[in-house]
Structure 1
Amino acid sequence: MKKIIVAPLNWGLGHASRCVPIIHFLLENDFVPILASDGKALTFLQKEFPNLESLELPSYNISYTKNLKLGLLFQLPKFVKTVQKEANVIADFIAKKKDVIGIISDNRFGARNAKIPSVYITHQLTVLSGIFTFFSTRIHQKIIQKFDECWVPDSKVNSLSGKLSKATKTTTTLTYIGALSRFKKADLPIKNSILIVLSGIESQRKSLEEKSLEAFKNYPKNIVLIQGKIEENQTKKVVGNLTIYNYLLSNELEREINQSEMILCRSGYSSIMDLAVLEKKAFFIPTTNQTEQEYLANYLEAKKVAPFCKEKDFKWSCLEEVKNYNGLSYSPNKLNKDLLRLF
């Protein structure tokens, strides 16, 4: 059997979750995916696909600071070393596994090898960083050019990601593959007034959880809160109108979203793709100082798709604004088998 390494970045669960449809796509076309990541992202994929082989990659261990841009700059030397370690782990693995014929990397810079074809997945052809946007974008373009092809999870008209995924100058072939989501829309009876889905780096995940619990403590309707904590055992806690899960796997989360009137979450791109495919109404709270999420929240509000506010300003009465917006939508797309031509 021909094997392909699928390696998502461990930054929240967004990169790993949007690789779920890629993994199913490979299985449907008689390839054997090898799960490669670290931390929560790897644990999540192992729970989703318990029968697949996995490979632990070095952790980037990026710390989240109040000034994200400056913080990332100071962590750059450590980051570069980790990318090289990652490339070495990949090289050692494919040297031992002669049946590995390709790599699909979702934003892992070192998950590639000159001996086999490698694909890079990203929606950030433009990397926003304020006055440094030109430089951060050029650096990312240089990284993309080290791969044989780049898959962009949006349409060519950039309907979900705006200017982030507009074509840039690169020698690497760009292929727009449409929104990537592990979910399918289903017409189920609405049982939840609000579904809160938490994600991201732990400090920010916990911050929004605390804010949500405080804001909704006297809310009269049914609320489900998904903590986004990938732990050994799944837990469920019910307190009055509030149901709390530490995590849900894809089929369970798909059902809860379909059965919810409104979704409250970060404006991460993977979440946006999921909610668009499921045609849901949403309220976004972008992660503070994360430029990409702030841009996406502003972009979707300007298009009258979904409202947002800063975390410090949120209270449950903010959700009244949702009725004045159209909600997310995206025509379902099927990945084309021709995408696998490299392999």
Structure 2
Amino acid sequence: MNKNILIAPLNWGLGHATRCIPIIKALEENGFNPIIASDGVALALLKKEFPHLITLELPSYNIKYAEKGKNFKWKLAYQMPKMLLAIKKEKSKIKKIIENYEISGIISDNRLGVYSANVPSVFITHQLNVLSGNTSWLTTKLHLRYVSKFNTCWVPDVAGVENLSGKLGHIEKSNKQIKYIGPLSRIEKKSLPIKYDLLVLLSGPEPQRTLLEKRLIKELEKSEKEILFVKGIIEPTQQNEKRNSITYYNFMNSEELGTALNESDVVLCRSGYTTVMDLAKLEKKAFFIPTPGQYEQEYLAKKFKSEIIAPSCKQEKFKISKLEKIYFYKGFKDVSVEQNWSELFSLFQSK
């Protein structure tokens, strides 16, 4: 019988779920039986991608963003007790799942309570350094303490200088627990004719997703360019409509989004790390609007701006005219490596 491997991405926007898609496919290709566990839109998305697999619901961290970026850190701190309670409930549920489904291995993408001392456990993160302003030393220390509970930590990036995550995914002290497995993307590069001048990709927790959607629609409806606007709202059925030169979708599956990315000249999106990995895979040009107050996205936007890869601006300062800057930047370069899945999954063969 194939071994059951539990794969559990964090429900924080769509990025953690989408970057688990190539891992789930690789597990199946290597003779394992993936069982998916998450909550909210992350679980809804993976149910649509893998309707044939068992899916389980985990306790929600239910983290809400502040409407103003300057309050981001303090709102997260205020919600910390609720988050710790969810992690405690998560750990309890994982024990039952391991017993009920005979789990032989665990892959957790940033879910801090999804591990077991009795089952080989992997933690996936691109943030070994967790940026939080003047408290970065503390948030990093606490995060690494959780990571140490796992057998190994997979970082979806390369170890060399030409990497995507910068100081987020690279620490000064060497650590045998950490393995750089190369960027993860569900998208394949294809040679397709350009159909859209601009692809808008939205994702991330509320209320910031909606706030950005409203601002972008107000600006972009002035344009005569052909625009594809994917809102990133996971609903039971896909909906689309065209108003003037803008085609709107509530969501797209991986195959549809892959086609859309390949058929688009440039991309306007958040500077989330999963999106960065997709852009690099396709060697695209992009314009970033980081989520206000989210240090990780603000850092990545500044990093790629300073490297003359992609321009960016604050959410409240976006104007359609700023998109012209894209063509003065060199765009992303593919830094992907061939993943040795059989070697990575060998951890699950030990028991």
Q: TM-score range by the shorter chain?
A: over 0.9
* 1:137-171 deviations in Å (ceiling 9; x for gaps): 00011010000000001100261111111135586
Which residue in 2 is equivalent to 1:209? 213
Matched, 1:28 2:33: no
Aligned to 1:4: 5
Normalised TM-score (structure 1): 0.98
* Partner of residue 114, structure 1: 117
- Tell me if the contact between 1:145 and 1:170 (Cα under 8 Å) persists in the aligned partners: no
* 1:198-237 map, 5 Å: 198-237=202-241
Within 1, Cα distance between the matches of 2:172 and 2:310?
A: 28
Pair 1:342-2:343 in alignment: no
* Aligned-partner Cα distance in 1 for 2:53–2:297: 32
1: CA distance between counterparts of 2:130 and 2:195?
39
Q: Which amino acid aligns with 1:79?
A: M
Paired residues, what number?
A: 342
| Partners of 2:334 and 2:201 in 1: CA distance | 20
1:141 — aligned with what? 144
Q: Which amino acid aligns with 2:109?
A: D
Q: How does 1:163-182 map to 2 (within 5 A)?
A: 163-167=167-171, 169=173, 173-182=177-186
Counterpart-to-counterpart distance in 2, 1:269 and 1:239: 30
Question: Does residue 189 of the first structure (1) align with residue 196 of the second (2)?
Answer: no
Mark the runs of 5 or more structure 2 residues left unpaired by the alignment: none
Match of 2:128 among 122, 125, 141: 125
The corresponding residue for 1:17 is 18
Counterparts of 1:157-168 in structure 2, within 5 Å, are 157=160, 159-167=163-171
Per-residue deviation, 1:329: 1.6
Partner residue in 2 for 1:279:
283
- Which structure is richer in relative contact order (CA contacts within 8 A, separation 6 or more)? 2
1:92 aligns with 2:96: yes
SS of match in other structure, 1:252: helix
Q: Is the 8 A contact 1:102 1:117 kept in 2?
A: yes
Q: Distance in 1 between matches of 2:49 and 2:172?
A: 34
Q: 2:95 is matched by which residue type in structure 1?
A: A
CA distance in 1, matches of 2:26, 2:254: 15
The reply to whether residue 151 of structure 1 matches residue 137 of structure 2 is no
Task: Give 1:240's aligned residue.
Answer: 244
Instruction: Point out 4+ residue stretches in structure 1 off by more than 6 angstroms.
Output: none
Which residue identity lines up with residue 208 of structure 1 in the other structure? L
In 1, Cα distance between equivalents of 2:79 and 2:215: 29
Change (3 A) 1:325 1:171: closer
Shift of 1:228: 0.3
CA contact (8 A) 1:25 1:335 kept: no
Q: Is the 8 A contact 2:270 2:289 kept in 1?
A: yes
Deviation string 1:34-61 (CA, Å, 9 cap, x unpaired) is 0100000000000000000011000001
Tell me if the contact between 2:4 and 2:101 (Cα under 8 Å) persists in the aligned partners: no
Partners of 1:145 and 1:171 within 8 A in 2: no
d(CA) in 1 for partners of 2:270 and 2:327?
19
Q: How far is the alpha carbon of 1:202 from its aligned partner?
A: 2.3
Q: Determine helix, strand or coil for the equivalent of 2:336.
A: coil
Q: How far apart, in 2, do the equivalents of 1:131 and 1:202 lie?
A: 25
Q: Does 1:300 align with 2:304?
A: yes
Amino acid at match of 1:332: S
Pair 9,64 (structure 1): closer, same or farther in 2 beyond 3 Å: same
Cα 1:207/1:37, change in 2 over 3 Å? same
Q: CA deviation at 1:172?
A: 6.0
Letter in 2 for 1:13: L
| Distance (whole Å) between structure 1 residues aligned to residue 242 and residue 176 of structure 2 | 50
What secondary structure is seen at the aligned counterpart in 2 of 1:36?
strand
The CA distance in 2 between the partners of 1:252 and 1:201, in whole Å, is: 22
Contact 1:196 1:223 in 2 (8 A): yes
Q: % of aligned pairs identical?
A: 49
- For residues 206-250 of structure 1, the C-alpha deviation after alignment (integer angstroms, 9 at most, x for no partner) is 111111100011201100000100000000101121100000000
Residue 97 of structure 1: how far off its partner (Å): 1.9
Aligned to 2:269: 265
Distance 2:123 2:179 in 1: 10
Counterpart in the other structure of 2:107: 104
**Cα root mean square deviation, aligned:** 1.1
**Kept after mapping to 1: 8 A contact 2:106/2:121:** yes
Pick one of 319, 332, 335 that aligns with 1:331.
335
